[in-house]
Structure 1
């Protein structure tokens, strides 16, 4: 996404709002340019914060459980 995309800035109030992301890596993957985004935030008076915690590492068994839980709603699972 472009750093100046209107969806990012809809309803953002300078000095009152901030962008929070789990990590810098998430921002880098979501935005065309993290540097341009942080510059745009500075220009608009909006802070950017990251949670700063280590990202979880998943082994094969954990990936399987996550995939199964995410696919259940589409496989007819009713939650019971």
Structure 2
């Protein structure tokens, strides 16, 4: 049994859920609701309107955008 450490933006998810009290799926829906905004516009939205720290907001936006881009292929 191996337990691989989660790397990249998803490594922030447990602390995002704990600190901001909402599941990642809620945050991703919020990000998607503001498409086609650019990456930093979405980060700024999470920071200014939801009090999210820069690292958490950036990780969430990066992960969501990358996943949606991959799904579109």
Q: Structure 2 length normalisation: TM-score?
A: 0.30
Structure (1 or 2) with the larger CA radius of gyration:
1
Higher helix share: 2
